[in-house]
Amino acid sequence: MRVVVLAAVAATAAVGLRTQYADYDKLCKATANGTVPEAQTHRRKKVLLNLHFQHGAGTYFCHLAKVNCERVWGSACNHYGDGGTSPHHIIVRDCAERRHEITVSKPSFVGLERGILSGEWCPDLYDYVVIVREPVSRHLSRRVIWGTNKKILDALRELLPLVGPPGAAGAVAPADVGRRDSILSRLRDAEEAAQVAQLDNFYTRALAANTSVYEGAFGATCTSDLDTALARLETFKFVTSLDYINDHTADARRLFRHSVLGWTNFSNAAINEHHAGEKAPTDILSTAELALLADLNELDRAVWAYADRRALREGLEVLALLNR
Summarised one tens digit per residue, pLDDT across range 119-138 is 999 999 999 999 999 999 88
Exposure string over 125-142, b if 16+ CB within 10 A, otherwise e: ebbbbbbbbbbbbbbbbb
Whole-number pLDDT of residue 270: 52
Whole-number pLDDT of residue 190: 74
Residue range 171-182: mean pLDDT, rounded: 87
Query: Which burial class, exposed, middle or buried, applies to 38 when counting CB atoms under 10 A from its CB (0-12, 13-18, 19+)?
Result: exposed
Ranking 40-44, 49-53, 114-118 by mean pLDDT, the lowest is 40-44
Closest listed residue to residue 196, CA positions, set 184, 207, 186, 204: 184
CA gap 265, 69 in Å, rounded: 10
Most confident of 64-78, 102-116, 228-242: 228-242
Whole-number pLDDT of residue 150: 82
Q: Convert the pLDDT of each residue in 246-286 to its tens digit.
A: 899 999 999 999 999 999 998 876 545 454 445 445 567 88
Sign of the torsion formed by the C-alpha atoms of 169, 239, 126 and 124: negative
What letter would DSSP give residue 285?
Answer: S
Q: Which domains does the chain have, with CATH numbers?
A: 11-322 (3.40.50)
**CA distance from start to end of the chain:** 39
Q: Which residues pair with 163 in a beta bridge?
A: 172
Percent of the chain having pLDDT more than 90? 44
Phi/psi at 290 (nearest 5 deg)?
Answer: -65, -40
Q: How confident is the model at residue 11 (pLDDT cuts 50, 70, 90)?
A: very low
